Amino acid sequence: MSNTSPAQAPDTAIAVEDAEGLCLSYPVMAPDSQAVLVKANTEITAALVKHLQKFGIQYITPPESERKASASEAAPVARLRSEALFGLPASVVAELSGILDEGLFERDVTKLRDMMLTVGRKMLDPEYREYYAASLGDIMQNLGVKLTEAMTNQKIQGRSTMHLVRSYFEALNGDWSTSVKMLELYSKHSRLADHSVKLTILSMALANHLQFSRREVKEVGALGLMGKLGLMKLAPEILASTAAPTRFEQIEIMKAPQYSTMLLEQLIGLPKKIAAVANQLSERGDGTGYPRGLALRNTSPLARVVSLADCYLSLVAAKPFRPAVQPNAACVFLLQKAAAGVFERRSVAALIELIGCYPPGYLVELSSRQQAVVIAPSTRPGRPLVELTDTGEQLDLSEVDVTILRSVTAADNNEISDWRDIPESLLLELPF
């Protein structure tokens, strides 16, 4: 079932607002994509109608035979819970999938053949270059598939994803390249590789939400994947440490952005812009970042997006030496930092609007003393669409006088629930 405009609506289509009470035998799809908004065998409730309208769905075409005969025959109440990573809306997933299909790095065979002339004598053979150029196109396609799978069904395959990145640049630079050797180490580091995949997707989603151009969204994705390459130059014991970094280790970590720029500058096939911006990923707008202590106005918009997404992911990830920060507390923390000029205000606001303060699947306690499961973000951050656990009723908290008191999931997981308990030293931790 797909969304249609009034002019395109078939005779059997009805307006979404008139669909309440229908039981669908097939899914509702997002406009212009195959992302499922409502699963098959779902009852259309009043709350679900309003939420579909927020996604731009105007018409649906349920079969008349599926009308609900009585309340006792009703299908189980729908859960419009996004299966995508970070609970990203289906419309965002569809847009990013299209961008990933185009490839994050160069796919033009002619340009790739020309690049290969600088690699070595064997690449002077036209047939050899033609073969490798075609294979690079396949690698880019597979990379897009890997990242799309991670985004749509949370199947994070960091090591195999980074192995594809290494293979791409090895063909263009040769296996003797120091940068390629560092990419090989990168692809073997599970935690860093997984973090990079998540960072790529969240950064691209945020850049897209901020209406960056398609080229810029791809550049943000490349930064998410490779911007931390300089960490591979650090001592192995620092990367493997399960304790909070010591002052000496923090000083070493502060050198990583410069290492990243140095390594990325050497890679044939990677735009020089990516290498330059990688040096800014740990800068903070108030001048407390590193390596240069740049003010916000002196950093690239690409760096602002990736550094914000990186900080959020680091906050909500559990570390061996501290519990994870509850997403709601992380959002408040970032708002406080934005007010202090550490992060860009509009980027923080966009991040919260995009993924919400409470992720889908979180169990929360409401001011009505009922418990509910978060189903999806709403237009008002902190007031998502929820489903009551006792009755199955859906409530859009942005439209009722009911608020969230606390996160039961966060309490069960021993997560940090007060932003004031977040240590300032977090900004000097490793991100994974």
Contact present, 325 and 315 (Cβ < 8 Å): yes
Residues 425 and 404: their CA atoms lie apart, in Å, by 29
- Decide: helix, strand or coil at residue 38: strand
Q: What single-letter amino acid sits at 245?
A: P
Contact present, 400 and 104 (Cβ < 8 Å): no
CA distances, 105 to each of 27, 158, 226, 309, 419 (Å):
35, 18, 12, 21, 38
Domain at 86-355+423-428: CATH code:
1.10.3210.10
Residues 155, 157, 158, 164: is their CA dihedral positive or negative? negative
How many CA atoms lie less than 13 Å away from 99 in the CB half-sphere?
Answer: 26
Q: Which CATH number fits domain 14-78: 1.20.140.10, 3.30.70.3150, 3.40.50.11540, 3.90.105.10?
A: 3.90.105.10
- Decide: helix, strand or coil at residue 30: coil
> Could you tell me the residue ranges of all domains in the chain?
14-78, 86-355+423-428, 363-417
How many CA atoms lie less than 13 Å away from 385 in the CB half-sphere?
Answer: 23
CA distances, 28 to each of 48, 68, 220, 294, 316 (Å):
11, 17, 31, 47, 32
Write out the chain's pLDDT in tens, 432 residues: 444 444 444 445 667 776 666 656 556 666 555 555 666 656 677 667 776 776 677 777 554 443 333 333 333 333 344 578 888 888 889 899 999 999 899 877 777 777 777 665 555 566 666 777 778 888 888 999 999 999 998 889 999 999 999 999 988 888 889 999 999 999 999 999 999 999 999 999 999 999 999 999 999 999 999 999 999 999 999 988 888 888 899 999 999 999 999 999 999 889 999 999 999 999 999 999 999 999 999 999 999 999 999 999 999 988 888 888 988 899 999 999 999 999 999 999 999 988 888 877 888 899 999 999 888 777 677 888 888 988 888 888 988 899 998 888 766 677 888 888 887 777 677 777
**Closest residue by Cα to residue 99 from 235, 209, 251, 189:** 209
**Closest residue by Cα to residue 43 from 34, 52, 35:** 52
The first and second tokens of residue 54, run together, are: 């927020």
